[in-house]
Structure 1
Amino acid sequence: MPKHMKSRKSKIGSAPGTLVHVGDRLSENIKVTLIKYDKENFSKSLLDKIEDCFSSEGNVINWVDVDGLHEIEVIEKIGQEFNLHPLILEDILNTTQRPKIDFNENYIYIVLKMLYYDKKIKRIKSEQISFIILKNHVFSFQEFEGDVFDNLRKRLEQNKSNIRNKRTDYLAYSLIDAIVDSYFDILESIGDTIDDIEDTLMRNPSEKLLSNIYELKREMIFLRNSIWPLRDVLNGLIKSDYPLIEDKTTIFLRDIYDHTVQIMDIVETYRDILSGMLDTYLSSMSNKTNEVMKVLTVFSTIFIPLSFFTGIYGMNFEYMPELHFKYGYLIFWVITVISILIMIRYFRKKNWF
């Protein structure tokens, strides 16, 4: 099983709000991308300094995508500029967070899990992504470069795109929606893997197949733990009367909530299927063992009377009458063969083989 849990040793004993990166450093330098847009204009640029994204121009929406979390000073500067609580900054850097939502005076903080399915090794890879939603800014903090937002970026480039007429709450909805839609792709890939395992299970169950089933069960548990809290996040957004969330956006959030419920139903279904496959494997191996034991029992039973005959006539008593009989050896084999045929016929009649 892949190691989904990251070490938190560096956090032990630290004061609340201490900024320590918990996770893997997957690149040398962080990458900050700024996308600015409104109804008429769109621009995309890579920033050399994080301060370049702090300014706000009227109704222009600023999406700041930060790839890489190991440069703590960048997170500190963002926190100082937008008055983010130190505990929020700490959570951004701590990549072991459970999906959650926090409402603050001027912003909303959301943590989610962005998941990928590696078809080669058939494993789920996890990345924590955090969002800070403000009036004119949306910050997304990712552990490494690469995400599921390419289609969203293409939509933003189009002048007639509906998203260009919306505020930051709709951009946040679009980001969350892209993540949730990616879960369906993961489940589809896992479903194909389960179908392959099921076909192999019917033909040739093996220990390797059992290992694959156990690993998939662990993956489904991890997937469930990553997605289940998302319902609380969406429910909090839907029911909140926070000024940043417009009423028109709520109906879209309800749609994501419905998708999340559907995903959880699929996850639970897959878990039940894998549990059933495990029972099927154990039953198949038990049946194989029973078949082997049945064959061994039949052969043992056939040779029991033969052992009895040879045991008697293997004794060296001097006055055994059959020992000097001219046709004794022949008669012995006749009796042996007749005994074997009788037992075989009896076993066939009982459908034992």
Structure 2
Amino acid sequence: MRKIKYKKGKKLQPYNLEYTGIHKTKDSEIQLFVYDDLNLSEYEDFKVANLDKYIDGQKTNWINIHGLNNVEWLKSISAYFKIDNFMLADIMNTVRRTKLEESHEFLFFNIKSILPTENSDNINVEQISFLLKEGVLISFQEKRSDFFTHIRERIRTHSGLVREKKADYLLYVLLDAIMENFYITLENEEDKLEELINLSKQSPDPEILERIEKHRDNFNFLKRSIIPLRDSLYDIKSIKDDNVFNAMESDTFSFFARLHQKSLELLEQIESDMGSLESASNFYFSAQTHKMNEIMKTLTIVSAIFIPLTFIVGVYGMNFEYMPELKRHYGYHTVMGAMFLIVVGMIIYFKKRRWF
């Protein structure tokens, strides 16, 4: 059973346009929200050529795309928004690490969205990419999912600040929703970690050690996913001063600073959980060693008790014709009594020394 339901991506040239994920049967769909503080329009299943009819430069436009396996369809979107092939290749190559790129027209951000698998130790991963430009946010998802359902409802019902803010704030809200998935996954891993710690104290089953190693891999994967996200969120701070991408409002940077702080909290918690996992592993091996020591101690005591008995039996098992005790009427009972007293005496001695 694999930890991540994701096959290894091909080694592609940066400009090659080929979807490397696993959702190759998903149809490509497009959804558009056009809104401001007063009005909202929502469109679905329309042709890219008709975008001119719907996009309003005076409002915020959120284009949400599901499905990355239709290369020609994505090329048409790329041509409409003048997205270069290198960015489009990064969107379709789902094994790339989280990254942030900026140009004068676009801010590009891709991220891994992570959620636990029900009734399994696996982790589900989906890459989501964002392109932000003046008044427009384009999100690319590998398949239709419910990551942003609550955000769509907030837009429809005019809840919170999302309708009052611009596309850069919408990007913050979507990234925040994805980071909540990290918290959900981490909480799920912590619940299983607590279960493993309890099991390691109760059972020597080797399957426990196998599960510990699986969850160690999960925590390492979470860590590898969050570190580049932390770095990218930190880099957003520099956008305010570098005069390259200027489509973000100054008060929005504080929201991204919150996301950066969340990434630091996640990393700290993962480090703590990995320490607990290491403790569970050490406790398992300590319990195994202790059990082995108890077994060896019991066998040693039994062996020690039988050593003098074996000596006596060996002496009287010799085939000499003239042995003094062999002709005695009560010789057998005497030897057996002596052997019994030796056993009782040794047990009493071992008990006083607390050897068992």
| 1:94 and 2:112 are equivalent in the alignment | no
Distance (Å, rounded) in 2 between the aligned partners of 1:184 and 1:133: 25
Conserved 8 A contact 1:53-1:64: no
**3-state SS in 2 of match to 1:164:** coil
**3-state SS in 2 of match to 1:291:** helix
Conserved 8 A contact 1:210-1:281: yes
How far 1:258 moved relative to its partner? Answer: 0.8
| 1:83 and 2:82 are equivalent in the alignment | yes
- Alpha-carbon RMSD across the aligned residues, in angstroms, is 1.6
Conserved 8 A contact 1:173-1:252: yes
More deviation, 305-314/184-193: 184-193
The Cα offsets for residues 277-331 of structure 1, whole Å up to 9 and x where unpaired, read as 1000000000011111111111111111111011111111111111111111001
Distance (Å, rounded) in 2 between the aligned partners of 1:28 and 1:163: 29
How far 1:59 moved relative to its partner? Answer: 1.7
Aligned to 1:221: 220
Distance (Å, rounded) in 2 between the aligned partners of 1:186 and 1:83: 36
| 1:345 and 2:348 are equivalent in the alignment | yes
How far 1:94 moved relative to its partner? Answer: 0.2
How far 1:45 moved relative to its partner? Answer: 2.6
Conserved 8 A contact 1:53-1:62: no
Aligned to 2:169: 170
Distance (Å, rounded) in 2 between the aligned partners of 1:292 and 1:243: 72
Distance (Å, rounded) in 1 between the aligned partners of 2:347 and 2:147: 67
**3-state SS in 1 of match to 2:163:** helix
**3-state SS in 1 of match to 2:162:** helix
Q: Residue type matched to 2:257 in 1?
A: R
**3-state SS in 2 of match to 1:87:** helix
Distance of aligned partners of 1:160 and 1:297 in 2 relative to their CA distance in 1, 3 Å threshold: closer
Aligned to 1:291: 294
Aligned to 1:23: 21
Identity %: 31
**3-state SS in 2 of match to 1:66:** strand
Q: How does 1:183-202 map to 2 (within 5 A)?
A: 183-202=182-201
Conserved 8 A contact 1:36-1:43: yes
More deviation, 325-334/22-31: 22-31
Distance (Å, rounded) in 2 between the aligned partners of 1:244 and 1:6: 36
Q: Residue type matched to 1:8 in 2?
A: G
Distance (Å, rounded) in 1 between the aligned partners of 2:174 and 2:159: 19
TM-score, length of structure 1 as denominator length = 0.95
Instruction: Provide the aligned length of Structure 1 versus Structure 2.
Output: 350
Q: 1:34 aligns with which of 12, 17, 32?
A: 32
What runs of 5+ residues in structure 2 fail to find an aligned partner?
none
Distance (Å, rounded) in 1 between the aligned partners of 2:330 and 2:197: 61
| 1:313 and 2:316 are equivalent in the alignment | yes
Q: Residue type matched to 1:202 in 2?
A: K
Distance (Å, rounded) in 2 between the aligned partners of 1:115 and 1:3: 10
TM-score, length of structure 2 as denominator length = 0.94
